[in-house]
Amino acid sequence: MAMQEGLRSEDLDSCFKKLMVFGAALGASPGDGGKLGGEMMADWKDIPMELLLRILTLVDDKTVIRVSGVCSGWREAICLGLTRLCLSWCKNNMNEVVLTLAPKFTRLQTLILRQDKPQLEDNAIETVASFCHDLRELDLSKSFKLTDRSLYALAHGCPNLTKLNISGCTAFSDDAVAYLTSFCKKLKSLNLCGCVRAATDRALQAIAYNCRELQTLNLGWCENVSDSGVTSLAYGCPNLRALDLCGCVLITDESVIALANRCPHLRSLGLYYCQNITDRAMYSLAQSRVRNKHGVWQSIKPPRYEDDGLMNLNISQCTALTPPAVQAVCDSFPSLHTCPGRHSLIISGCLNLTSVHCACAIYSHRAPSTIAH
């Protein structure tokens, strides 16, 4: 870790040890005889606040919250200086913790509230939206109890959101998602995996219209998504880098063709179990390389020539595809690998595609003859 100017490594080590002593006996105060764990407390307030904040980057978020209760000076410094907080360690009382902390940690930019079991309720998210207006990244995955009230509150309170994960939030509607995107237009990453009611063609049309900067979108297992919604995305979000359509059983070749034609920066595409996808979609992806490069791509190149084209493609269970069409995609995008240890072209469940090989596999067979000449 690089040291800030004016802060020596030994200062950091000394203060860190001191902090651990304090943290081990929280609840003690200067009125406790001036001692804590056998050490004098005379200089406990002398730690520079910028150093305190740097020390806290080395400990877990639970410790950070406990340390903020040592004294008013530390509490003020932490509340004003902390920009990232993860509360996933709260197993039973996350809602109450959020209600307590959100009004204090008003400078948060990243808040992770991922849960193993649903705890969060709308009042907690409404409190976050009321106090944490600088929020950029928010993870609410598996928050089954949340309703549209939470998204409406975030729309008004956190308009600078760039990354939002609401995967598994099955109660959200497409109305609420459309409303959110009309205010949060800076979104670059959105995870709607499993949000069957929220991820519809209507919601995707709103996302395409409002979120022109979107780069990553997960629509896994959103069974109401069709070609209409995906085509809208392709036209409205030309900067898409990653799109997961796994389990979107309604989509056809039209979706992939639109993405191939309109999203030149696409690097990752998930089509698992999209069984309406045929060779036509694969050839469209392959031809997009030619269009983007304004010329024919040299397919047989060693790995060092790999560029930033399509790097991950999941076509597992797409049983209508044939080897020539998938091989054409492999030849066009050398970053797609079928070789051991580098699998980025996922074809499990497609036994008819076992003859497809990536560029480096072909190059390894040709390299010896090339060297001989």
Quick check: 77 and 49 in contact, CB under 8 A?
yes
Q: What is the Cα–Cα distance from 265 to 238, expressed in whole angstroms?
A: 8
Whole-prediction pTM: 0.83
pLDDT on residue 13: 53
Contact criterion met (CB below 8 Å) for 260 and 283: no
247 φψ region: left (φ > 0), alpha (ψ -120 to 50), beta (else): left
The helix or strand, by DSSP H or E, that contains position 352, with its residue range, turns out to be none
Q: How far apart are CA 79 and CA 81, in angstroms?
A: 6
Question: What is residue 242's DSSP assignment?
Answer: E
Please give the domain boundaries of the chain with CATH numbers for all domains.
10-19+41-82 (no CATH), 86-372 (3.80.10.10)
CB 334 within 8 A of CB 353: no
Q: What is the pLDDT of residue 103?
A: 96
Exposure of 69 in the CB half-sphere (CA atoms within 13 A): 12
Give the pLDDT score at 360.
80
Max Cα distance, the chain (Å): 85
Distance CA 213, CA 220 (A): 20
- First-to-last C-alpha distance (Å) of the chain: 50
Q: What is the β-pairing status of strands 110-112 and 84-86?
A: parallel
- Can you tell me the distance from the alpha carbon of 373 to that of 364, in angstroms, rounded to the nearest whole number? 15
- 155 phi and psi angles, rounded to 5 deg: -60, -40
Name the amino acid, one letter, at 299: S
Residue among 177, 170, 248, 254 at smallest CA distance from 208: 177
pLDDT tens digits for range 207-249:
999 999 999 999 999 999 999 999 999 999 999 999 999 999 9
pLDDT of 35 reads 46
Angle at which helices 122-131 and 148-157 cross, to 10°: 0
C-beta atoms surrounding 360 within 10 Å: 18
Which residues in the chain show pLDDT less than 70? 1-46, 49, 70-71, 290-308, 361-373
- Cross-strand bridge partners of residue 190: 164, 217
* Spatial contact of 289 and 283, defined as CB atoms under 8 Å apart: no
Helices (H), the chain: 9-24, 49-56, 61-67, 72-81, 94-101, 122-131, 148-157, 174-183, 201-210, 227-236, 253-262, 279-293, 323-332, 359-372
